[in-house]
Structure 1
Amino acid sequence: MTLFQSLDDRHPLTGRLAMGVEYDGSAYCGWQRLKHAASVQAALETALSKVASQPVKVHASGRTDSGVHATRQIIHFDPPAPRSQKAWVFGANANLPRDVAVRWVRPVPDDFHARFKALARRYRYVILNQPSRPVLERANATWCRDPLDAEAMHVAAQVLVGEHDFSSFRAAGCQSKTPWRHLHFLEVHRHGPLVVVDVQGNAFLHHMIRNIVGALVTVGRGEQDSDHLARLLALKDRTLGDVTAPACGLHFVDSLYDAGWGLPREPLGPNLLAFLGEWTGERPLPDCPMVEFRRGRPVTAVVAERVPEGDSHD
């Protein structure tokens, strides 16, 4: 699979478009447009509007919080003017700040929706585990000077896999109607000085991943035993949980869709982990309510009540 594909500059695209976007979230108060602060959505819409010479509104696969990064944020929009593939990608990037970039654009059917057609979202949390503070990685990894037992963290995390009430791991200001989420997998691995928490689920609550990582770090340091996360999960009370891990280590690396939509496969980020060689969509999705619901298959009424609206938060 090649990273280099030519962009058509001869045929204007009409109809709905999907786009892959990468950004460093350090300077933004999250993805969603805000009146009082800089957002990635506002930067992207401003750039696309300049390419189209008309206002453009985009819809994303999920929100990311202040300071959180993304390597594969999927968005869609209905262009008000026809432009070629090359014009959309090169034009957008010419008008975007250096910390946001468009990776690709593809025409999609009119019923595609970046948020409501997503089957799963995947994040990676990167911890640089070494005695000295980071320099080159300081903006995209969290530093932990204490030795971490990644294997103990992984064992403790497995209790969270599956469908659960994650009240103990949601922020106080979380706006989700339900605390129920389904984690497809949650893995912790060490790669030299890097400890990586790799998690995929149907959607996530506000600060959910960062709160999970905060609890896992206490296990990794030996301050808590392997049953720590099981106890927190059972309590269903965020006030009894651990600290929230910093935003700089969190990366939104994938939003998964049915192959029929024709979205490109690409290496999962961040580039710090390129040596892992994993590409989007390689792991099979589990048979779970969200996947069945999004594919238009029937689910029971009780299960349907637990299926979140599809917004991904962190």
Structure 2
Amino acid sequence: MTAVSGGFESGFTLGRHRFRTGLTLAPMAGNTNLAYRRLCRKFGAELTTTEMVSAKALQFQDPKTMSLLERGEDEKPVAAQVFGADPADLATATAIIAELGFDFVDLNIGCPVPKITSGGGGSSLLRVPTLAAECVAAMTTASNLPVSVKIRAGWDEENRNAPDFAFQMQQAGAVAITIHGRTREQKYSGKADYELIGEVVSAVSIPVIGNGDVVDLDSAAELLAQGVSGIAIGRGAMGRPWLFSQLRAMILSEPIPKAPGTQERMALLLELGQGVCSIYGEGRGMKIMRRLSADFFRESPGSARLRAACSQLSALEDLENLVQDSNTEPSQFNP
């Protein structure tokens, strides 16, 4: 990782909230639960967002949907992300989200997963900007919550309409745009188009938050050079919540902290495990931890052994013992 000089102009204001660095945690289904969001906040994420929920399911207070909106009193400011394609459903969902005490509501027009797009939600709305604008307008009139929109570069290579689309969302009442620099067709293949993100910045007068392929200081600097007001970090922060502290230091021209060593990562993993289990119960919590834990050791000595051990976790006690073993007998995890 190469150190990058600071001095970047970033940060933005939404409603009564000022975000100094503009660093946000992008919502990811199955990953950005309350415990992980708390961990990322600890390292400098200024805004966190729930996993996306269905606007239609939210109206019926579906238990699984409501569990995705779990948030802590210490988690502020926080946004709830919804998906759907019916203005009335989205308006009702926005009113419910406001009653639950969230600070913002975000409309997902970026998800490329067929399960979502087949119902007209997610990135499918990129193909019908008029309907998307109606959805945003309905949400803005349903409550006093600021409404933001998450989009992609376009539906496919022939329809990279993000700049015009973003402008229409602004006209409909959106207060911020998060743009992922790939098309729906690409999903997560290829490379995020930062130049197109810069075109979105030029097309609107509201904050633009860039997203896609930010994994280190260099990639963040490349994206910031496009004039974005902030960065939404998703996959790059999985297993590396400390990336936020490094990017924060870069933006504020402060010394860049080193990535934690293996034992420090084990301590963070235990902290996360305890948080996840306290929120979701040990059974569901350890299932989540088996999925999240391996990413913590992608760059660590003995990574293969650690990852294998993490994949076998079935109880919080197993994780506690693994952490203790890594402290008392670190040589067993050496390559």
TM-score, shorter chain, exceeding 0.5: no
Give TM-score, length-normalised by structure 2: 0.24
Whichever structure has more helix as a proportion of its residues is: 2
Ranked by relative contact order (alpha carbons within 8 Å, sequence separation 6 or more), the top structure is: 1
Give TM-score, length-normalised by structure 1: 0.26
